[in-house]
Structure 1
């Protein structure tokens, strides 16, 4: 994330768009996604733990006892404190795994949102190349004090190449930076996604096995 907090990814008014508001919108959307994911994950954990805990408290018959995340066949859980020990063990393991999943997913989603908004800024920068070049030309000719940039007046045919080249170079460098940071994060998270997929597949297989018993 530190990479996205450095140039050229910081808001830059010289690129010709309101990047400050786009950045705020990006952060707002990221916070909503993080909070929603964390809230839903917490609710799922609380519901599964709460329902099974109530069943255990209400009944002393081990036939009524249910573990929150599937039965365990390697340990005799038909009496206390074995049942409670496995119960707590499952809670800690599930909460730990859930936290890892949430962190990986939310980090990935947040980075995707930031890269998406960087591409929006790039798009705006490309759309404003001619106007910004025209403005640079007026500044150099000392006419900026008496003339304002008019979209109808900004014609690429009357703008010297050096001004267009300057803006085009900025756009190309910005685009290359976005591509490089995207590839960097792709290399980092590809392995994590593989591990996440494999562990999820194993968990689903175990759940299907327990349901079929």
Structure 2
């Protein structure tokens, strides 16, 4: 992500330039509403994602910290036991605990930023297709409006007669639509090229996290099962 930050910046900057900016002459107020909806959706996703992730990581670290204050158990860490150093030493334990807390927080921040970056770009490209769809629905009306503005027809008439629109106005509007469509396809293709490795890394990170979670869950289940069998045997002997 850091190595390709310049290419990422170019893709994002293109979304803030023409023809991707709201254009009242192209789609009217409907286009502005579509773009505003896209901004609202991406902002909402960002806030909700960061809040949930922050609560998840923060609560995990807080629970581990409270347990350490209450029980003073050197085996209690936020994200599993740490066996590289001698954690029976209080200093080593605190260093490992801080390392786990800050290391996981930094990894989570990078992972969330990657996810949100990809989702934001995909959302904007999807909404650009909605803008294009809205533009195609109004092509005839826009051509008629251009004809009136050029003085090709008396603007005192309220009824729109599409048969009176010369081909040059329709061609101009159609050319704009085709160019806009091609621009969307180009930035989608560029996004696929730039983000392909990033998507692969995000996918592999997700797989690794799932595998680690399943491994820790299996250890908990095995420990619980062993404790259950010991308790059962003791009860059998007492009877």
The 10-residue stretch of structure 1 (90-99 or 196-205) with the greater mean CA deviation from structure 2 = 196-205
Distance 2:92 2:213 in 1: 21
Matches within 5 A, 1:8-23: 8-18=19-29, 19-23=31-35
SS of the equivalent of 2:118 reads: helix
- Equivalent in 31, 45, 51 of residue 43 of structure 2: 31
- Whether 1:191 and 2:203 are equivalent positions in the alignment is no
CA distances 1:120-161 after superposition (whole Å, capped 9, x unpaired): 11011101111111222223335454234x4xx342x33221
Larger helix proportion, structure 1 or 2?
2
Distance 1:86 1:72 in 2: 7
How far did 1:91 drift? 1.1
Relative to structure 1, is the Cα distance of residues 37 and 168 closer, same or farther in structure 2, using a 3 angstrom cutoff? same
Q: Structure 1 residue runs of 4+, over 6 Å off?
A: none
Matches within 5 A, 1:18-97: 18=29, 19-62=31-74, 65-97=75-107
How far did 1:179 drift? 0.7
- Specify the alignment match of 1:171 in structure 2: 177
- Whether 1:4 and 2:10 are equivalent positions in the alignment is no
Considering only CA atoms, is the larger Rg found in Structure 1 or Structure 2? 2
What is the aligned length? 207
Distance 2:161 2:194 in 1: 44
Asked if the contact 2:27–2:131 (Cα under 8 Å) also holds between the matched residues in 1, the reply is no
Gaps of 5+ in 1: none
Distance 1:203 1:124 in 2: 42
Asked if the contact 1:71–1:210 (Cα under 8 Å) also holds between the matched residues in 2, the reply is no
CA distances 1:53-99 after superposition (whole Å, capped 9, x unpaired): 1110001343xx42111112222323312221111111111111111
Q: Give the structure-2-normalised TM-score.
A: 0.80
- Specify the alignment match of 2:151 in structure 1: 141
Q: Give the structure-1-normalised TM-score.
A: 0.89
- Whether 1:99 and 2:72 are equivalent positions in the alignment is no
SS of the equivalent of 1:147 reads: coil
Gaps of 5+ in 2: 1-11, 220-239
